[in-house]
Amino acid sequence: MKKIKLHGRGIIPGKVQGEAIVTSQPISFFGGLDPERGTIIERGHELKGINVTGKILIFPRGKGSTVGSYVIYSMKKKGTAPAAIINIETEPIIAAGCVIANIPLIDKLNDNPIKVIKTGDWVEVFADEGIIEVTREE
């Protein structure tokens, strides 16, 4: 097993763990994700058809309408939200959604999480301290 520790900026506190889902493409929560099922539905997205419920969702940044913040909140209420979000750099739509949904959020890591973390890795998020610990089977 290989362990990796990354440090960044904890934006929304919380401690969670789960399987990583990683994409190099931005995500729009309004129109790009089905809040009823927690599935990526955006046409042409590399994660189309993937369910993010309870996962550690890692993507560069959000995109699209400010309604995306409320979609994140809606997903949390329905039980379809990711357990945590990790961005290269978080923008206001994702930050606001994570605030109202109380989803741990980290960005500005000391290494690019999209290059360091792979889908399927086990990730522990300590957002209060801005720390991520990744465990990978080798």
Task: Kindly list the catalytic residues.
Answer: 65
The tokens for 65 are: 């309408």
Runs of H (alpha helix) within the chain: 68-78, 92-101, 113-116
Q: Compute the distance between CA of residue 89 and CA of residue 61 in angstroms, rounded to an integer.
A: 6
Cα-based distances in Å from 52 to 74, 111, 128: 14, 23, 22
**Is residue 15 within 8 Å of residue 127, measured between CB atoms?**
yes
User: Tokens 């369910």, residue?
Assistant: 51
